[in-house]
Amino acid sequence: MLHPMVEIEEKPSAAPVRPGRERPGKKGHGPDSLGGILAKIILLGITDAVAAFVLFQLVLSGEWLIFVISLATTLVINWIYLRRGGLPAKYLAPGVIFLMIFQVFVMIFSTYIAFTNYGDGHNSTKSDAIASIQLSASERVPDSPQFATSVLEKNGSYFLLVTTPEGEARLGGAETPLETVTPSTTGPTGAATGVDGYTTLDFTALLANQQAITTLTVPLSDNPEDGSLKTADGSTSYVYTPKLKFDAAADTFTDTTTGVVYSDGGRGSFVAEDGTALNTGWKVNVGLDNFVRAFTDQNLQGPLLKVIAWTFTFAILSVATTFALGLFLAITFNRADLKGQKIYRILMILPYAFPAFLSGLVWSGLLNPEFGFINNALLGGAAIPWLTDPVLAKISVLVVNLWLGYPYMFLVCTGALQSLPEEVDEAARMDGAGVFKIFTAIKLPLLLVSLAPLLISSFAFNFNNFNVIYMLTGGGPRFDGTTFDIGSTDILITMVYKIAFGTGAGRDYGLASALAIIIFLIVAAVSALSFKKTKALEDLN
Amino acid sequence: MTGKNTAGARFTRRSFTLGAVGALSALALTACGGTSAPAAGTSAAASTSAAASVPATGTNLTMWVDAERAPALKSIAAKFKTEKGIDVKLVVKDFAAVRDDFITQAPTGKGPDILVGPHDWLGKLVQNGVVAPVQLGDKAASFTESSIKAMTYDGQTYGVPYSIENVALIRNTELAPEAKTTLDEVIAEGKKAVSAGDAKFPFLVGLDPKQADPYHLYPLQTSLGSQVFEQNDDGSYDSTKLALDTAGGKEFAQLLNDLGDKGEKVLNSNITGDIAKEKFLAGESPYFLSGPWNVPDIAAKGIKFAIDPLPTTGDKPAQPFIGVNGFFVSAKSTNALAANEFVVNYLSLEEAQDELFKVGGRPPALTASFDKAASDPVVKAYGEIGANGVPMPAVPAMDAVWADWGGTELNLIKGKEADPAAAWSKMASNIEKKIADN
């Protein structure tokens, strides 16, 4: 909640401080103090050292795009702070860079995700998906024996030397099917461990070449139907046959038992004629599909209006109630002659110190109809269904959010009140205005000038206040007459969460991003309108 | 730049300090921006050096574990290091975040080689192509059958199991001296204790006030012959065939209604798991349907208790869901051979499973370890009930099932449904629609 406030105040503070304006009469002066230079050298030095380390690591891991961006950023930072003049840039640079990383980049990335099918089942690249399908589809032949195995090497190729349960030693490689051989050495259990002309790999050598060895498949015979040998640990191997066969040229998987062909359906998965898709897919661009779904999904259409109405009600009432209570308390505790003012103020701020999701859980316990503190201790054992009745649940959510939110309003109102000039108050009293008149006609408008932007940011925050809703009621009680798990206290963001992450297909980051962008547009529009109104307020004064 | 005295160099000390603060932020920024990048660098560096230097000391395995299990794995990791020269780095992660972090990080190559988790993650892990099958070979026979079944998804075994957990009926032997077999008898016994003034609740089971609890209530449902999905011949679930909408399921719906707010008030959705435990610990109920995780506290409280088989509601056995914990190997591991060696040949050892039992107290999946642990009657009782259980379905479609299933159970318990059977059928068709939509 604090962070939008900082952003708003940042803008005006950067502009007025300009070199030359502060001391207009003075010409250029002597060099910087030694301490200043040292500080500059050390700070820039550390920055560059860290940057060099990061850049080095990026080169090692081959992340070229990030490398180029990081390098450019480092050079720009150095240029800004080493050159003479350009003082505004020196102030603005860190803020702008943070803005790029934490706001702009996140926005661009979300937008990109919104146009893909990224989510469960579409998690990575196509080649990853193919590799993974092949891995899962390769099944051990039922009731086939387990072979004691040694891995041998000759001319850079690897071979499996296996001993059948009958004690026969057989050798084969990726290109050469298994053949009976006479072992030159045998291990303590009688299994063959070496053949003349081949080098037996010890465990150290196995580890060094594990990628090649774990992917090695040795055909049992010239007939691929018989299956092939594979080892996962270098000491035992099993006979596998693929349940699905990949044809790289045709880009299709074929089921070896039913003959069904799965081909790339263009939607990030291998699909058969009848529409059944293989479990594992990959991430592809799906254009506007996610947005179309957001507007046509039947699950959404029914309860959408109710949810939107409640989202606005919740956000507006949350701002109004927290502001009213915060302001009231701020005025009450602003009296200079109040004893123990500091203690009261600290007590006031306590709810602010609890994490919202924790408070949500605690309150949901307090509001338990039968065993909760509220009903049991405060209301003498009444059985009021605080969280399970549609209307009461809404009230409970608002009250808990009031408890969570008023300390923030109390803080900012106290600050704003203390910055109001005393004379205005006095002058009004001289003119015969009462306390109430002074408050409504003078103090409140003056306060609103500085507080209005904070109220708008508070609205935006509550519009997306996921924690309170999700931890307190989980959005419930559920609406009747919808197949979807949406309830009376669901706001847009919790509804998005449920739709994108809980409909049975697993997490759908693409759809979630699309819906988040729509919510962003709503909040941005409301905020822009409100800021315009605030401008008018400033003009009045 | 400082030696020259030009008009451009108008640094006041104050403005310079501000500039320095800026530089400091830039420094912080560089550090922040780089956090993900160095991780990539180090892992890449580690794997390349593994290939180049002496492997006996150069290979590292990374394993994600939660805080509870990490200590139990230290000694087996040490044994692996001395015998094979491979370091297993146990990275302690927040358990709640492990599955999703693994799914997002594995494709980038930054995930761990090995992962600990419950078997019902498998559906998601396989769907996202991030786990590799493991071949247990002849070792499979040394594990209890139900644990291997749970670790099998789509005909492939994906993990090495180490523990099985399930619910059972915990009975306070002072309030209810004799074991009963049917739910009716259990409730009658409980009511006797209540009317005698010894207890306040005839029967306790923890429910979620928003979602009820299909997991804990499942044995009461299976005893009426209702399952969640139809099972294939090999015991795996067929996620395309939802089996909730049956005569048994409707009987179960009626039962929930009869035991709920409008009926006998035995099931109470306001009693959460925490409250149920608190009340049982206070000696306010003779029965508590719960898992082994609550047993240590009950024993510590000095309550005399016994673990009974789950009470039946119909003519079928009351089968609980079983959850099997195990070890998985990443499909993207660059150390697949070392990871398989550790998971298949070391974590399946009796000493490893013994150690994990000592820390977690869950019945071990390895038969030899279980036999040893079964000297404890609690472990023995839970293990025997679990042997009769069915694995919790791992299919990804379960996400859709839980929400509707729980929501309908809640409404039935609260007596909100005039026609329980119709409400149950509506729930089943809702779930079917959701599964079909995706």
| B433 in any annotated domain | yes
pLDDT for the residue A348: 83
Q: What is the DSSP code (8-state) at residue B74?
A: H
- Does residue B37 fall inside a structural domain? no
Is residue B107 one of the residues assigned to a domain?
Answer: yes
Residue A373 has pLDDT above 60, yes or no: yes
Indicate the pLDDT class of residue B3, thresholds 50, 70 and 90.
Answer: very low
Task: With CB atoms and an 8 Å threshold, state whether A54 touches B434.
Answer: no
Confidence at A504, pLDDT banded by 50, 70, 90:
low
pLDDT at residue B164, rounded to an integer: 92
What is the number of domains present in chain B? 2
A34 near B CB under 8 A? no
Model pLDDT for residues A98-121, shown as the tens digit of each residue: 898 888 888 899 999 999 989 888
Which residues in chain A have Cβ-Cβ distances shorter than 8 Å to B13? 32-33, 36
Q: A146 touching B, CB under 8 A?
A: yes
Domains present along chain A, CATH in parentheses? 2-18+32-114 (no CATH), 126-242 (2.40.430.10), 294-540 (1.10.3720.10)
The mean per-residue pLDDT over the stretch A503-508 comes to: 67
Inform me whether the C-beta atom of residue B44 falls under 8 Å from chain A C-beta atoms: yes
Which residue, B337, B79, B74, is CA-closest to A204?
B337
Contacts of B18 in chain A (CB under 8 A): 17, 90-91
Mean pLDDT (chain A) is 83
pLDDT score of A11 more than 60:
no
Work out the average pLDDT over B249-255: 94
> With helix as H, strand as E and coil as C, how does A298-358 read?
HHHHHHHHHHHHHHHHHHHHHHHHHHHHHHHHHHHCCCCCCCCHHHHHHHHHHHHHCCHHH
Is residue A41 within 8 angstroms of chain B, CB to CB?
Answer: no
Instruction: Band the pLDDT of A61: cuts 50, 70, 90.
Output: confident
Residues A235-253: what's their mean pLDDT?
88
- A42 at B interface, C-beta within 8 A: no
Whole-angstrom Cα distance, residue B355 to residue B346? 12
Whether B193 and B290 map to the same domain: the answer is yes
Mutation choice for B interface testing from A113, A128, A207, A283 by most B CBs within 10 A: A207
Tell me, yes or no, whether B29 lies in a domain.
Answer: no
- Does residue B306 sit in the same domain as residue B416? yes
Entry pTM = 0.78
How much is the pLDDT for A20?
41
Cβ of A19 within 8 Å of Cβ of B430? The answer is: no
- What would you report as the CA-atom Rg of chain B, rounded to the nearest whole angstrom? 27
**Contact between A33 and B13 using a beta-carbon 8 Å cutoff:** yes
The Cα of B282 is separated from the nearest Cα of chain A by a number of Å equal to 14
Mean per-residue pLDDT, B39-60? 44
Phi, psi of B366 (to 5 degrees): -75, 125
- Give the closest residue to B303 by CA, choosing from B206, B204, B224, B386: B204
Cα dihedral: B96, B101, B102, B105 (round 10): -170
Asked if residue B309 and residue B349 are part of one domain, the reply reads: no
Q: Distance between CA atoms of A286 and A84, rounded to whole angstroms?
A: 49
Give the range among A14-23, B51-60, B241-250, B308-317 with minimum mean pLDDT: A14-23
Interface check B81 vs A, CB under 8 A: no
Among A13, A58, A61, A63, pick the best mutation site for testing chain B contact (most B Cβ within 10 A).
Answer: A61
Binned at pLDDT 50, 70 and 90, residue A6 comes out as very low
CB contact under 8 A, B129 and A211: no
- The ipTM (two decimal places) reads 0.74
Which of A295-299, B7-11, B124-128, B266-270 is least confident?
B7-11
Q: Which tens digits make up the pLDDT trace of A336-345?
A: 788 888 888 8
Q: Which amino acid is at B20?
A: A
Across the range A185-194, mean pLDDT stands at 81
Taking only residues 413 to 472 of chain A, the set having a beta carbon closer than 8 angstroms to any beta carbon of chain B reads: none
Is the pLDDT at B238 greater than 50, yes or no? yes
CA A444 to chain B, closest CA, distance in angstroms equals 35
From B391, B408, B426, the end of a domain falls on B391
pLDDT number for residue A541: 52
Q: How far apart are CA A408 and CA A352, in angstroms?
A: 7
Q: What is the CATH number of the domain that holds B336?
A: 3.40.190.10
| pLDDT value of residue B19 | 38
Distance CA A5, CA A471 (A): 26
Is A79 touching B (CB cutoff 8 A)? no
**Taking a C-beta distance cutoff of 8 angstroms, is the pair A146, B139 a contact?**
no
Residue B16 has pLDDT above 70, yes or no: no
Same domain, B313 and B372: no
Residues of B in contact with A474 (CB under 8 A): 210-211
- The residue among B228, B337, B342 with the most chain A CBs within 10 A of its CB, best to mutate, is B337
Cβ-based burial of B179 (10 A; exposed 0-12, middle 13-18, buried ≥19): middle
- Judge whether B82 is closer than 8 Å to chain A, CB to CB: no
Verify whether the Cβ–Cβ distance A90 to B127 is below 8 Å. no
Return residues 323-382 of A near B (CB < 8 Å): 364-365, 368-371
One domain, residues B311 and B386: no
Q: Would you call A128 and B129 a contact, using CB atoms and an 8 Å cutoff?
A: yes
Q: Which residues of A touch B49 (CB under 8 A)?
A: none
- What pLDDT band is residue A505 in, cutting at 50, 70 and 90? low
Mean pLDDT of chain B: 83
Q: pLDDT per residue over A438-478, tens digit each?
A: 888 888 888 888 898 899 999 999 999 998 898 888 887 88
Residue B288 has pLDDT above 70, yes or no: yes
Angle between helices A2-14 and A444-463 (to 10 degrees): 130
B367 with B244, same domain: the answer is: no
Mean local confidence (pLDDT), A323-333: 90
What is the DSSP code (8-state) at residue A461?
H
Q: Is B5 on the interface with A (CB under 8 A)?
A: yes
- Residues B229, B81 share a domain: no
Other Cβ atoms closer than 10 A to B43: 18
Q: Is B177 on the interface with A (CB under 8 A)?
A: no
Residue from the list B41, B128, B271 with its beta carbon closest to the beta carbon of A280: B128
Shortest CA distance from B18: residue in chain A: A91
Q: DSSP string covering A421-459, please?
A: -HHHHHHHHHTT--HHHIIIIIIHHHHHHHHHHHHHHHH
> Chain B partners of A132 at a C-beta cutoff of 8 Å?
129-130, 331
Mean pLDDT of A423-433: 84
Tell me how long chain A is.
Answer: 541
A158-186 mean pLDDT: 86
Contacts 24+ apart (CB under 8 A), B1-9: B1/A82, B1/A84, B2/A31, B2/A32, B2/A37, B3/A31, B5/A28, B5/A29, B5/A30, B5/A31, B6/A28, B6/A84, B7/A27, B7/A28, B8/A28, B8/A84, B8/A85, B9/A28, B9/A31, B9/A32, B9/A84
The answer to whether B59 contacts A207, with C-beta atoms less than 8 Å apart, is: yes
Q: Can you read off the two tokens belonging to residue B233?
A: 């011949």
Which tokens belong to B348?
């399946």
Q: Do B34 and A233 touch (CB under 8 A)?
A: no
Task: Please give the average per-residue pLDDT across B92-106, as a whole number.
Answer: 87
Beta carbons within 10 angstroms of residue A84's beta carbon: 13
The answer to whether residue B383 sits within a structural domain is yes
Residue B353: inside a domain, yes or no?
yes
CB contact under 8 A, A40 and B16: yes
Q: Do the domain assignments include residue B431? A: yes
Interface contact A110, partner B, CB < 8 A = no
> Are B148 and B251 within one domain?
no
A84, A93, A129: residue with CB nearest B129: A129
Residue A504 has its nearest CB partner, among B26, B332, B400, at B400
Minimal Cα distance from B54: which residue of A?
A204
Residue to substitute from A80, A116, A141, A203, interface B, most B β-carbons within 10 A: A203
| Chain B residue numbers touching A280 (CB-CB < 8 A) | 126-129
What element of type H or E holds A242? strand A236-242
Whether residue B193 is found in the same domain as residue B332: no
| Chains A–B, number of C-beta pairs less than 8 Å apart | 283
Which residues of chain A does B400 touch, with a Cβ-Cβ cutoff of 8 Å? 502-504
In the predicted model, is pLDDT for residue A423 greater than 80? yes
Whether residues B379 and B417 fall in one domain: no
Find the range with the poorest average confidence among A505-519, B107-121, B193-207, B322-336.
A505-519
**Cβ atoms A503, A515 nearer than 8 A:** no
φ, ψ at B114 (rounded to 5°): -130, 150
Residue B17 lies in a domain: no
Residue of B nearest to A205 (CA): B55
- B187 lies in which domain range? 168-321+395-437
| Over residues B112-140, mean pLDDT | 90
Interface check for A149 against chain B (CB to CB < 8 A): the answer is no
> In chain B, which residue's Cα lies nearest the Cα of A64?
B37
| In a shared domain, residues B137 and B70 | yes
Q: Is the model's pLDDT at A538 over the cut of 70?
A: no
Supply the DSSP symbol for A508.
Answer: B
Q: What is the pLDDT of residue B15?
A: 39
pLDDT band of B57, cuts 50, 70, 90: very low
| Whole-number pLDDT of residue A370 | 81
One domain for residues B172 and B302: yes
For chain A, say whether B15 makes contact (Cβ under 8 Å).
yes
pLDDT digits (tens, 9 = 90+) for B258-273: 999 888 889 998 899 9
